[in-house]
Structure 1
Amino acid sequence: MDDTLLLSRLQFALNISFHILFPTISLGLGWLLVFFKMRYSRTKDEKWIKLYFFWVKIFALTFALGVASGITMPFQFSTNWPGFLEMAGNVAGPILAYEVLLAFFLEGTFLGIVLFAYKKVPAWFHTLSTFLVAFGATLSGFIILSLVSWMITPQGFEVRDGIVHVTSWYDVIMSPSMIYRFLHMMIAAGLTSAFLLAGISAYRWLRSDRAPDVMSGLRTGIYTALACSLMQWVVGDMHGYNTSQHQPQTMAAAEAIWKTEKGAPLLLFAIPDPETKSNKFEIGIPKMCSLLMTHHLNGEVKGLDQFPEHPSVAPVFFSFRIMVFTGLAMLVVSIAGTWVLKRRKDITPFWAKVFVWMTFSGWVGTLTGWYTTEMGRQPYIIHGVLKTADAATKTGSGMVASTFACYIAGYVILLAAFLYAIYYLARKAAQTNTIQPLD
């Protein structure tokens, strides 16, 4: 791999990693805001509107950083991946345009009403605006994931003179992996937002803020985390099975299966060795991989020996396991938190600290999930259609390296500012417990 290609891939990985942090929160947090507002509308209990006004500020901050980091993504297609736009611009261009014209404008317009018009519009319209903000965020995720899914399981097109031409937009949007990827991502967003809600509420609790809104936020976060964790294991299994059907080489890399075999074990740990095409220090559960990938204990699982081109095994293998073990930790912690709340009607200092440590665990699961997906697609940028190396820029590596360094510096500053702002708001709320609307 030449330096320009490597740096371009690293730069894109940095950009997508930073960007996805914020939509992952806004996708889930938007619906939590709808829940808070509807609970207030029904009960008139002040704790719900306090929760709403605290978290809507964090949503607005998340939205702003999501927009700022998202702007760089389409520019990178032109600067770093011109081959992709040249070949697949007929697909990517309209999808990205509709994401802006439909979802982004819908979300951005009504967010202004949510933030600044609470006392200026009827209560029902403000609630409707909150719903439309959440719906706009979800619609944005749906549209973007349709493009990502098409790049992984492409259909509904033909290639003429090296250019992709759409033959069915329905097939493009609803590619074979789309519904599973969308559900998987939406639940991941719910998990991320739930642990953020629980973690920040626990942080305020540890600072002696035991007000009703804090406790309601803590309970909502923990119960939502448990519900999403349980759903994610079901949807994750469906998503994995779909991937094994359409991208068996990706699953073979994720499970480090070098040779086709029946009754393949599920490896809990191993060190893949590409030179010997084998694994060292294997710890596994017999036949479990076959059961998960084929739904039969002795089902045949295709190994990497069946695929002349396949992704690097170790990065996919380890990122997949970090994602799974993070999901398992979320499930265990949410079960324990629910049990403590049901038994004691309150949290304990120990479990409050656990939830503080788990505040951003959703980011870990989301990032490693995306790494598994993106690295598992290699060496293609559009699976079976366009290789990553053929799409990359021919610009000198020095130019790519300089922009890469600028991105790193900018993103470190922005992420630090985002985290500082969240905890500043939490500390301020813990001191005063009086959250007011912006208008």
Structure 2
Amino acid sequence: MFGLEALELARIQFAFTIAFHIIFPAITIGLASYLAVLEGLWLKTRQELYRDLYHFWLKIFAVNFAMGVVSGIVMAYQFGTNWSGYSEFAGSITGPLLAYEVLTAFFLEAGFLGVMLFGWNRVGPRLHFFSTIMVAIGTLISTFWILASNSWMHTPQGHEIIDGVVVPVDWFAVVFNPSFPYRLTHMAIAAFLATAFFVGASAAWHLLRGNDNPAVRKMFSMALWMALLVAPVQAAVGDLHGLNTLEYQPAKIAAMEGNWDNSHGGPTPLILFGWPDMEREETLYKIEIPYLASLILNHSLTEPIPALKDFAREDRPYAPIVFWSFRLMVLIGLLMIFSGAWSLWLRYRKKLFTSRPFLRFMTWMGPSGIVAILAGWITTEVGRQPWVVYEIMRTADAVSPHSATQMGFTLAMFVVVYFAVFGVGLVYVLHLVAKGPVPFEGREKGAGGPGESRTPARPLSAADERVDTHKKDQLGKGN
């Protein structure tokens, strides 16, 4: 297929499916905690706008949760179908860690998700709030185990290799490997920021269209407080993560910075823009700031950072992708910090909800958190290449013995099915966002349960809006 080998197609397939998947857990993680905050504020203040916002975002959470579960199952199957070499070599690590996720996070969420989605009028307020908190904790526990498994692939510890197979000897070292704390914190904050900008963009969209009410203003304000306070923290965590990567994966740092050669001696400049050329072994058309890369990474004005020529050609990651995905992530992070600062200035001037340039800017920033997460994961995973387990197992040795034709066919099928199924799901989410928060009127008609017309059996039952009904309402308003 397009002249690509089976290994390349397998990598593209995994990248494609995980890129779709990560959208939903990221928003789910952030929304679960946001819902817990909203319900807690409702119980404390009894202000109706918190209750209305809770039920508005609960429906969107339900759709994201359902699509995240479906897309996540596909990811697990690919370890056996496309990466059997890795499963055979390191299954004793990955298998238990994923099983721990099921036994802790999934079971916890399964126990309380139904109460959270459908129990507002069927259980006491404290039990319902407790259920919401448990679901939020469950999403974070799931993040914990997934990042533990992935971080071990980057900085493997706590194992021995016996007869060509990884054998765990210290589970504490396996889980709390050197990169794990930084990567877990970085990902969790990224999920909160992605959700904040999704919520903020939704509110900005409504404010631009004249839907200016206390609930919309409140969710806009909360999102921007999150951006103001947390985006700078994410930058600090990212710096610590970079220092950890410098210690354990120096080739990735060299690719991120586009630095090829340290023969000149002295500090390394920061290359703002350029094109790392893998054949010529240099970064072309570069614009650089002297000393800055050494200052950021080594906190020194004299010590150079690692260079790609320090590593054999076969051990270098593909620098152009790593170089530019990293810069995209950093650019979005700076825009997030700018958003928070701009919002603080507008609060001071009493124009936060009326400045149309800022509202337009925040609307465009809606998908920025997801784009930053994807760029960060691309930097991390492509930067680890050519290793699937860093300096222990090469990616070429991990792939299953499929032909390029087989891999090309399944990749094409994934593309068609994913765009059809999850495309519809994303359109439905945007439809729910477009409706905006409305006053909650107690027990909803047909909400399910004993004596009702239907009994919800899946998370999507919590989001029972009809797209065609919304269109009719809009047409009616136009007439």
Alpha-carbon distance in structure 2 between the residues aligned to 1:362 and 1:65: 18
Alpha-carbon distance in structure 1 between the residues aligned to 2:37 and 2:325: 33
- Contact 1:204/1:426 (CA < 8 Å) preserved in 2? no
| Deviation string, structure 1 residues 346-388 (Cα, Å, up to 9, x no partner) | 4222221211111111111000100000000000000011100
Alpha-carbon distance in structure 1 between the residues aligned to 2:366 and 2:286: 32
- Contact 2:268/2:293 (CA < 8 Å) preserved in 1? yes
Secondary structure of the residue aligned to 1:280 is strand
- Contact 1:249/1:307 (CA < 8 Å) preserved in 2? yes
**Which residue of the partner structure matches residue 391 of structure 1?**
398
Alpha-carbon distance in structure 2 between the residues aligned to 1:181 and 1:157: 20
Identity of counterpart residues, as a percentage? 39
**Deviation (angstroms), 1:421:** 1.6
**Deviation (angstroms), 1:67:** 0.3
| Deviation string, structure 1 residues 306-336 (Cα, Å, up to 9, x no partner) | 1111101111101111111111111112221
Alpha-carbon distance in structure 1 between the residues aligned to 2:114 and 2:148: 27
| Deviation string, structure 1 residues 205-238 (Cα, Å, up to 9, x no partner) | 2232211111000000111112221111100000
TM-score by length of 2: 0.89
Name the amino acid aligned to 1:328.
Answer: L
Name the amino acid aligned to 2:384.
Answer: R
Q: Report the RMSD for the aligned CA atoms in angstroms.
A: 1.5
Alpha-carbon distance in structure 2 between the residues aligned to 1:133 and 1:22: 15
Structure 1 spans left out of the alignment, 5+ residues: none
Alpha-carbon distance in structure 1 between the residues aligned to 2:80 and 2:441: 44
- Contact 1:320/1:372 (CA < 8 Å) preserved in 2? yes
**Which residue of the partner structure matches residue 374 of structure 2?**
367
> Which residue of the other structure, out of 65, 68, 76, is the alignment partner of 1:66?
68
> Which residue of the other structure, out of 312, 318, 334, is the alignment partner of 1:328?
334
**Which residue of the partner structure matches residue 162 of structure 1?**
164
Range 71-80 or range 255-264, more displaced: 255-264
Name the amino acid aligned to 2:179.
Answer: S
Alpha-carbon distance in structure 2 between the residues aligned to 1:413 and 1:356: 25
TM-score by length of 1: 0.97
Structure 2 spans left out of the alignment, 5+ residues: 448-479
Name the amino acid aligned to 2:134.
Answer: L
Q: Map of 1:427-438 to 2, 5 A cutoff?
A: 427-429=434-436, 434=440
**Deviation (angstroms), 1:291:** 1.4
Alpha-carbon distance in structure 2 between the residues aligned to 1:289 and 1:366: 23
**Which residue of the partner structure matches residue 313 of structure 1?**
319
| Deviation string, structure 1 residues 383-430 (Cα, Å, up to 9, x no partner) | 011100001111111111111111111221233223322222233236
Alpha-carbon distance in structure 1 between the residues aligned to 2:214 and 2:425: 26
Alpha-carbon distance in structure 2 between the residues aligned to 1:148 and 1:255: 23
> Which residue of the other structure, out of 260, 275, 295, is the alignment partner of 2:299?
295
> Which residue of the other structure, out of 5, 9, 12, is the alignment partner of 1:10?
12
Count of aligned pairs: 438
- Contact 1:262/1:299 (CA < 8 Å) preserved in 2? yes
Q: Map of 1:245-260 to 2, 5 A cutoff?
A: 245-260=247-262
**Which residue of the partner structure matches residue 102 of structure 1?**
104
Secondary structure of the residue aligned to 1:298 is coil
Secondary structure of the residue aligned to 1:300 is coil
**Deviation (angstroms), 1:2:** 5.9
**Deviation (angstroms), 1:281:** 1.5
**Deviation (angstroms), 1:38:** 0.9
Alpha-carbon distance in structure 2 between the residues aligned to 1:101 and 1:436: 35
**Which residue of the partner structure matches residue 148 of structure 1?**
150
Alpha-carbon distance in structure 1 between the residues aligned to 2:127 and 2:394: 49
Alpha-carbon distance in structure 2 between the residues aligned to 1:70 and 1:341: 40
**Which residue of the partner structure matches residue 338 of structure 1?**
344
> Kindly tell me: are residues 63 and 435 of structure 1, through their superposed partners in 2, closer, same or farther at Cα, counting changes over 3 Å?
farther
Q: Map of 1:77-226 to 2, 5 A cutoff?
A: 77-226=79-228
Name the amino acid aligned to 2:377.
Answer: W
> Kindly tell me: are residues 413 and 44 of structure 1, through their superposed partners in 2, closer, same or farther at Cα, counting changes over 3 Å?
same
Larger Rg: 2
**Which residue of the partner structure matches residue 419 of structure 1?**
426
